[in-house]
Amino acid sequence: MMLLIRELKIMLRSPAGAIQSLMFAVLVIALFPLAITPDPDQLEPLGIGLIWVVTLLSCLLAADKSLASDYADGSLEQMVLSDYPLWWVCLVKSMAHWVSCALPLLLMAPILGGMLAMPLDRIGWLMASLILGSPILSLFCILGAMLTVGLNQSSALLPILIAPFLVPTLILGTQWATTGGEAFYGYMLAALLCLSLVTLPFATAVVAKIAVSR
Amino acid sequence: MSFETITAFLAMGGYATYVFASYGLTALTLGGLLLAESRRHRAWLQRQGSRRRSEEA
Amino acid sequence: MWRWFHQWGSPKFFYHRSGVLIPVLALASGLILGAGVFWGLLIAPADYQQGESVRIMYVHVPAAILAQSSYAMMAVMALISLIWRLKIADAAVQTVAPIGACITLLALATGSLWGKPMWGTYWVWDARLTSTLILFFLFAGVLALRNAAGQSQTAGRAASVLAVIGLLNLPIIKYSVDWWFTLHQPASFTLTDRPAMPFSMWGPLLMMVVGFYAWFFLAWLIRLRHELVKRERRSDWVQQMMKQ
């Protein structure tokens, strides 16, 4: 519990990361009408997919930085060696990532949807799909961050590693929102969320031990 | 034989480009990988041999 | 019995004993692939719908099957390397990844060349081609991580974990892509169901699949032996071998 509060405090102290993710998302969404067409009839069917992809990209970009400072100042190693169950540490990290990156985007979704000429009911389903789906994204992104922490490689490495794993979430989330809430996709997405919550923190813990021994 | 004449075989019912391109790519990939592996191994062995010779000298 | 397995875990034992397999596999793959190509290209009948372009199936389907099973083999080797800390398993993971990636690319290329006469375009976002593309990205991920993390033992372990996670996610990815789009033909050959094709077609197909596997193990073995010698170059048995 203390760990979670500590993470949130760290994040609140420097909201720059969250604001940057937000700005990135708004910017990219703005690029699409500029690049394609301002015609709302053409933009509207693309809206859900575009916002989902932008959320995915923002999460990947934020993940890269999320563990870097912990690794650099040695607190990652301390967490691995500490008495806290390592899976809980990883889960907390994922939650922190979600709060700092996905949650702002979720709250911005109505505005992003408006920029892409989305009607209100579709925005509603978009937000529902993001609520269920974005935690899965965060869990995978933290896994990817743990795999690449400490390597001074290009920031494209993490997306390359993790993007394939995000495809099912992307497909299910967008399908659920596009079909206006067809139950099958909703159940599948919820099931994926439960599966990810139960397995990914443990997987990340295994990787954390490897990462720290570098 | 599924083909009457050699010309018919080479024409492949109009799909010659696709069929022969596929088989060609396959031959290139399979053969090329094998060749590359053997060459790499032999080159490495040679480098090790010459390095040892220069160390002993 | 375990002792027999344990023996194979030693690089020296593996290297010396596997040498005999190379000419055997080379001969086998050469003969089987040659016969398969002859059968598929010249003797097998044309399809009444697809005409002669169906012959591409005899290279595309084996490549696709091999692409998927080579990833599975890589992940199993990765698991063995993680659980039993066997160096040879780690070398196996490192050596199979590039081969698997190339075969996946070949499957994509031949699939695309098959698609043009069949569907009229070089690329179509159907379930099978798309999940083969994702499979390629999975291979690329393992390769990229290996490349970035260096040659150390921890690098190998990180890449192995990624491979195993990839394998566990693979069914989920495949099913979700299937739900997303179905245009591709049903699988042309399964081990349990009766094939929908006549023997004159699945005969050469089976032969090509076997030939591809033989080639795969040949290529992997050559690569693995090279990697083992490289890793163990300071050890006695390698030094002695090189003096000869």
ipTM of this complex prediction, to 2 decimal places: 0.85
From chain B, the residues in CB contact with C219 under 8 A are 30, 33-34, 37
Yes or no, beta carbons of A164 and C138 under 8 Å apart: yes
pLDDT (0 to 100) of residue C186: 47
Q: Which long-range contacts (CB under 8 A, 24 or more apart) does C14-19 make?
A: C14/C88, C14/C228, C15/C225, C15/C228, C15/C229, C15/C237, C18/C221, C18/C224, C18/C225, C19/C225
In a mutational test of the C interface, the residue from B1, B26, B41 whose CB has the highest number of chain C CBs within 10 Å is: B26
Predicted local confidence at residue C193, as pLDDT? 40
Give this prediction's pTM: 0.87
Q: What is the domain extent for residue C109?
A: 25-243
Q: Number of A to C CB contacts under 8 A, please give it.
A: 66
Answer whether residue C8 is part of any domain. Answer: no
Which SS3 state, helix, strand or coil, does residue C194 take? coil
Residue A80 confidence class, pLDDT cut points 50, 70, 90: confident
pLDDT value at residue A196:
93
**Residue-level pLDDT at C192:** 38
- How big is the B-C interface in CB pairs under 8 Å? 85
Q: Sketch the domain layout of chain A as residue ranges.
A: 17-212
Q: How confident is the model at residue C189 (pLDDT cuts 50, 70, 90)?
A: very low
Closest CA to C69 of C157, C141, C135: C135
CA distances C218 to A38, A159, C204, Å, are 56, 33, 21
Residue A205: how many CB atoms within 10 A of its CB?
19
Q: What is the mean pLDDT of chain C?
A: 85
pLDDT score at C100 = 96
CA–CA min distance A6, chain C (Å): 28
Q: Which residues lie closer than 8 Å to A201 by C-beta, 6 or more apart?
A: A87, A88, A90, A91, A94, A139
What is the chain C residue with the closest CA to A213? Answer: C154
Q: How far apart are CA C201 and CA C190, in angstroms?
A: 14
Write the DSSP string, B1-57: ---SSHHHHHHGGGTHHHHHHHHHHHHHHHHHHHHHHHHHHHHHHHHHHHHHHHHH-
Q: Is B8 on the interface with C (CB under 8 A)?
A: no
End-to-end CA distance of chain B: 64
- Res. C134 pLDDT band, cuts 50 70 90: very high
Question: What is the per-residue pLDDT for C181?
Answer: 67
- A3: Cβ–Cβ under 8 A, 6 or more apart, which residues? A84, A88, A89, A92
For residue C41, list chain B residues with Cβ-Cβ distance below 8 A. 19, 23
Q: Does any domain span residue C20?
A: no
Q: What is the pLDDT of residues C22-71, one digit of tens each?
A: 999 999 999 999 999 998 888 888 877 777 888 888 999 999 999 999 99
Domain total in chain C: 1
Compute mean pLDDT per 10 residues along chain B, 57 residues long, and list them: 79 83 93 92 86 79
Mutate to test the interface with A, among C138, C153, C160, C172 (most CBs of A within 10 A): C172
pLDDT higher than 50, residue C158: yes
* Cβ of residue B28 closer than 8 Å to a chain C Cβ: no
